[in-house]
Chain A
Amino acid sequence: AQSVSQHNHHVILSEAASLELGCNYSYGGTVNLFWYVQYPGQHLQLLLKYFSGDPLVKGIKGFEAEFIKSKFSFNLRKPSVQWSDTAEYFCAVIFAGGTSYGKLTFGQGTILTVHP
């Protein structure tokens, strides 16, 4: 079965540090890729998405992600984190095909804590 893996469960950084969160998936076909953020007590918000085209995707709040097809990866990056980036981050994938119906498969989530 197709799966999505986020290898870092909890990442702790100081403000201004650079961030990279890993995401890998297991599927050799066409994929649609997403990163969502969930602030404490809130619903999921879309950070960025990739469907096709330029594999380097820029999202909101200064985040970006790079799709590397050969590595089945879609890592999330931010050059300089802020305390307000403290949240849980989810990678999600649509394994596109005839009957995907837009169903999302999520990674386990990475909790990011940023210290002032």
Chain B
Amino acid sequence: NAGVTQTPKFQVLKTGQSMTLQCAQDMNHNSMYWYRQDPGMGLRLIYYSASEGTTDKGEVPNGYNVSRLNKREFSLRLESAAPSQTSVYFCASLGGGNQPQHFGDGTRLSIL
């Protein structure tokens, strides 16, 4: 049981390049989330998808877009990467009820 799988694990981009981070879960969860983690700031929600076919902005959505391709997959796209988007990105999923979110291993993204 893989849980939440993120690809790639590491990526270096130049300013202005585009990039899609992939996330897939095999737990049949309805809700999925993208967070970014920066030192001293905890994790902040970028976008979320409460169910297949819906997406909504979180706390820090500027510069990002998302696609809920199907129930399993939720991708995060940087159209024109900026150095301020250097961060570690975590995808998570939630099945509902009194359950915690399950997190992927993260993608470490550096933008030069």
Binding site for B on A (CB under 8 A): 4, 6, 9, 32, 34, 42-44, 46, 49, 51, 90, 92, 101-109
Asked whether, in the complex, the Cβ of B104 is within 8 Å of the Cβ of A104, the reply is no
Residue of A nearest to B42 (CB): A106
Residues on B lying within 8 angstroms of A by beta carbon are 31, 33, 35, 40-45, 48, 50, 56, 58, 90, 92, 94, 96, 98, 100-101, 103-106
Majority SS at the chain A contact face = loop
User: A34–B56 Cα gap in the complex (Å)?
Assistant: 23
How distant is A114 from chain B, measured CB to nearest CB, in Å? 20
The residue of chain B having its C-beta at the shortest distance from the C-beta of A100 within the complex is B50
A90-B42, A103-B33 are known contacts; what are 9 more A-B pairs with Cβ within 8 Å?
Answer: A42-B105, A44-B43, A44-B103, A101-B31, A101-B48, A104-B45, A106-B42, A107-B42, A108-B42
**Contact status B100-A49, CB under 8 Å:** yes
Measured CB to CB, the closest approach of chain A to B105, in angstroms, equals: 5
Question: How many angstroms between the C-alpha atoms of A109 and B45 in the bound complex?
Answer: 15
Collect the chain A residues with CB atoms within 8 Å of residue B98's CB: 32, 49, 51
- Find out whether the CB atom of A90 lies under 8 angstroms from the CB atom of B100: no
